[in-house]
Amino acid sequence: MEINYKDIKVIGFDADDTLWVNETYFRDAETQFAKLLNQFETENKIDQELFKMEMKNLPVYGYGVKGFVLSMVEMALELSNNTVSNKTIAEILNIGKDMINKPVELLEGVEEVLEKLSGKYRLIVATKGDLLDQERKLEKSGLLDYFHHIEVLSDKKEENYSRLLKHLDIKPEEFLMLGNSLKSDVLPIVAIGAKAIHIPFHTTWAHEDVDVNANAAKSYKTLKNLSEVISVLN
């Protein structure tokens, strides 16, 4: 099925792992955490249990580095039966601070694509995560001037996108979303009658993994990189 983009007026961009590197830093942090606590459990088991803790805490803390750090602290207490040292807790906090202070590494071709698209379309950012952290990354990225609107969502489900489009007075048939997550950036978008393009990143958080049947896969396009969007829309 050929997808027609002729009615698109507004393009939404996911931020993490679509505009810049993010998930790689979480994987590195998980490795550091497992090594830090390996006196209590195997590193593989620690990684599995930390993910479970993150899932349990998502409704409480939401997405982002701060919630991740709190889950690491809680996991350290649980693994150690509340005997973990103050020094180890301080090291966990430092892992989180190091993540927050990482430089913003733009993915290849991002600025060139934004420059070309901004002349024809209204561009917005629709992303999840901690508000302060995402604002910091956007500021550091040097990309702010390309976007008409920035929205940091608590989640990316159909109702979240529907509210956003209604708030910005965007018709679903005039909206295209670009992102690396099928679960968050693509499937909810096509479900509300808008268009989506999937641009995979080499590392994906397990929480974002989803199985898609052949029929559903026909409702969106998958590209190798963001730069290919230009030829698709021309």
Domain ranges of the chain: 10-20+106-233, 23-100
Residue 18 corresponds to which tokens in the numbers above?
A: 């679509």
Nearest Cα to Cα of residue 112 among 232, 228, 26, 233 = 228
Residue 91, classed as helix, strand or coil, is helix
From residue 52, alpha-carbon distances to 23, 74, 82, 170, 222 in Å are 17, 11, 18, 37, 30
pLDDT of res. 234: 81
pLDDT of res. 203: 60
Segments of the chain scoring below 50 in pLDDT: 205, 207
From residue 169, alpha-carbon distances to 5, 10, 91, 129 in Å are 19, 11, 46, 24
Report the alpha-carbon angle 118-13-172, nearest 5.
Answer: 90
Q: E strands of the chain, at which residues?
A: 10-13, 122-128, 149-153, 175-179, 195-198, 221-222
Report yes or no: 65 and 100 within 8 Å, Cβ to Cβ: yes
pTM above 0.85, yes or no: yes
Which CATH number applies to 23-100? 1.10.150.240
Which residues neighbour 216 within 8 Å (Cβ) at sequence distance 6 or greater? Answer: 187, 190
Fold for 10-20+106-233, please state it.
Rossmann fold (3.40.50)
Residue 215 corresponds to which tokens in the numbers above?
A: 């029929």
Spatial distance between the Cα atoms of 180 and 200, rounded to a whole number of angstroms? 4
